[in-house]
């Protein structure tokens, strides 16, 4: 992963210094141009193919926006969004239709083109960004020039895995004078991001994979620990990425939208989706759930729309039955919560509510982890077949530590902000030494290989 390479760190530091020097001597427009150039330098560095795809995609979005601006018709917006969804669907599900596509190419003598079809990095997230922009053009008649649009769609902090940043949120910042500040928060975000991803997520992956890929060999306690470790790995991997890219954005004077807010402290499934991948939740709400009818069509249809929205969310994550089941499980969970609330039934014990919620979420992660339905069922069946398997003292100890962590977890709220405030009280000249100390610790304890971000594949 390029973001973890020493070469990237050096290049980023050089760019940040040049970026603020350009602002001081040439102003914000030249500064914005430098962002665009750096975005494409990173894309070409990763793969020149990705830079070409994003460039062509940006031209298409620009033409669509001009069309929407010229002809203010909802049917044109629907047409443009449909084209984008079709493009996204083609690349995401190409593996499922590859044989048919190759046959069509061969029929017209273009079978060699099939070898050039590669899943473009970040296509889901710049597709979502494009949809928010086209919607903004249609609703508010705000049109951006090609350069600024290209900067938005290729913005390197959010390009790979989000967060999904609405166009209005980005362009407001792009057109403002930005200042370099919050150095303490940048330090904290980098350290937290690297700790979560490089240390926690990497080691949790080895622990969880060993159990989940061989469920017949482990006790019931270990089976529980395996899926809990996977759920924690997902959180550390994705939230660690968000911390890291939020620090990158702050270096440029930009703020990214919040994407996580203590999700495993949620007290119900609705609360969970207000804390987990928040920008995706808002996107699904704004562009799927509300257009379907939202809560304006009666209680029954509202629940149907919820199920449809979560089913689409599941299918977006992958084209397997398991992802659909994962999405529907969350949809059913939210529907059940709404029914309980409708009949004024609630649990007034916060820890019990959180315990039930987190275990439901972990159960759903089973279908998110396994590629096939049969593998997921085999894992769940192992709880029955392995019930008599002896439990070691180490397993009990790890489970007790996990329970203790669950009880203490809510007290970590806003920990990054609190630490950054504490750092402001330390002399600035000492702060880099503290940062370097923790950075050396992370490097020293990090594994030899660091897996890619999980959500980069979505």
**pLDDT digits 0-9 by tens, 211-269:** 999 999 999 999 999 999 999 999 999 999 999 999 999 999 999 999 999 999 999 99
First to last CA, the chain: 16
C-alpha 383/C-alpha 219 separation (Å) is 8
Does 99 score more than 80 pLDDT? no
**In which band, very low, low, confident or very high, does the pLDDT at 114 lie, cut at 50, 70 and 90?**
low
Token readout for 405 is: 């962590």
- Cα separation of 370 and 320, whole Å? 10
Q: Is the pLDDT at 141 greater than 90, yes or no?
A: no
What is the pLDDT at residue 450? 66
For residue 345, is pLDDT > 90?
no
Check if the beta carbon of residue 272 is closer than 8 Å to that of residue 184.
no
pLDDT of residue 349: 79
In this predicted structure, the answer to whether residue 109 has a pLDDT above a threshold of 70 is no
Rounded to whole angstroms, the Cα distance separating 273 from 281 reads 6
Rounded Cα distance, 159 and 54, in Å: 10
Residue with tokens 């020493």: 6
Q: Give Cβ neighbours of residue 363 (< 8 Å, ≥ 6 apart).
A: 227, 329
pLDDT in tens, 371-390: 999 999 999 999 999 998 98
Q: Specify the residue for token string 């962002």.
A: 35
Q: Is residue 404 over pLDDT 70?
A: yes
CA 356 to chain CA centroid, nearest Å: 24
- What mean pLDDT comes out for the span 411-420? 88
Flag whether pLDDT at 458 surpasses 70: no
Chain mean pLDDT for the chain: 90
Whether the Cβ atoms of residue 222 and residue 395 lie closer than 8 Å to each other? yes
Give the Cα separation of 65 and 134 in Å (integer): 6
Percent of the chain with pLDDT over 70: 93
| Contact by Cβ (8 Å): 153, 57 | yes
Q: How far apart are CA 10 and CA 412, in angstroms?
A: 32
Residue 132, pLDDT score: 96
- pLDDT of 100 higher than 80: no
Give me 253's structure tokens: 């004077």
pLDDT at residue 125, as a whole number = 92
Q: How many angstroms separate the Cα of 340 from the Cα of each of 269, 343, 346? A: 12, 5, 7
The pLDDT score that the predictor gives to residue 66 is 95
Rounded to whole angstroms, the Cα distance separating 281 from 327 reads 12
Q: How far apart are CA 139 and CA 131, in angstroms?
A: 12
């Amino acid at each position: 992963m390029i973001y973890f390479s020493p070469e990237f760190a050096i290049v980023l530091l050089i760019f940040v210094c040049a970026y603020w020097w350009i602002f001081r001597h040439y102003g914000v427009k030249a500064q914005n141009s430098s962002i665009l150039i750096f975005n494409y330098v990173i894309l070409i560095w990763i793969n020149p193919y990705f830079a070409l795809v994003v460039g062509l995609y940006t031209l298409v979005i620009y033409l669509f926006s001009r069309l929407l601006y010229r002809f203010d018709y909802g049917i044109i917006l629907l047409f443009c969004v449909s084209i984008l969804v079709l493009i996204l669907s083609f690349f995401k599900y190409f593996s499922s239709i590859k044989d048919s596509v190759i046959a069509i190419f061969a029929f017209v003598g273009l079978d060699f083109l099939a070898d050039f079809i590669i899943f473009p990095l970040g296509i889901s997230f710049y597709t979502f960004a494009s949809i928010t922009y086209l919607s903004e053009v249609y609703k508010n008649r705000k049109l951006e020039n090609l350069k600024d649009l290209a900067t938005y769609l290729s913005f390197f902090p959010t390009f790979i895995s989000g967060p999904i940043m609405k166009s209005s949120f980005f362009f407001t910042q792009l057109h403002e004078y930005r200042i370099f500040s919050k150095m303490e928060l940048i330090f904290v975000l980098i350290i937290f991001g690297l700790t979560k991803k490089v240390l926690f997520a990497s080691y949790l992956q080895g622990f969880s994979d060993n159990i989940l890929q061989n469920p017949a060999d482990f006790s019931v306690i270990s089976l529980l620990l395996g899926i809990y470790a996977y759920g924690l790995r997902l959180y550390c991997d994705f939230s660690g990425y968000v911390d890291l890219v939020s620090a990158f954005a702050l270096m440029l004077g930009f703020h990214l939208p919040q994407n996580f807010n203590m999700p495993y402290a949620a007290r119900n499934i609705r609360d969970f989706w207000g804390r987990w991948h928040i920008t995706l939740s808002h996107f699904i709400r704004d562009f799927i759930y509300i257009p379907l009818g939202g809560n304006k069509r009666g209680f029954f249809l509202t629940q149907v729309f919820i199920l449809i929205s979560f089913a689409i969310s599941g299918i977006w994550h992958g084209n397997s039955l398991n992802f659909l089941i994962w999405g529907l499980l969350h949809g059913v969970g939210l529907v059940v919560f709404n029914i309980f609330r409708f009949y004024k039934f609630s649990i007034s014990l916060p820890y019990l509510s959180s315990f039930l919620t987190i275990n439901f979420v972990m159960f759903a992660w089973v279908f998110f982890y396994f590629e096939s339905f049969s593998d997921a069922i085999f894992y769940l069946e192992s709880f029955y077949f392995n019930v008599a398997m002896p439990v070691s003292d180490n397993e009990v100890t790890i489970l007790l530590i996990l329970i203790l962590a669950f009880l203490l977890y809510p007290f970590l709220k806003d920990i990054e902000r609190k630490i950054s405030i504490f750092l402001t009280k330390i002399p600035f000249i000492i702060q880099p030494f503290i940062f370097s100390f923790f950075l050396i610790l992370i490097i020293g304890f990090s594994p030899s290989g660091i897996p890619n971000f999980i959500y980069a594949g979505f």
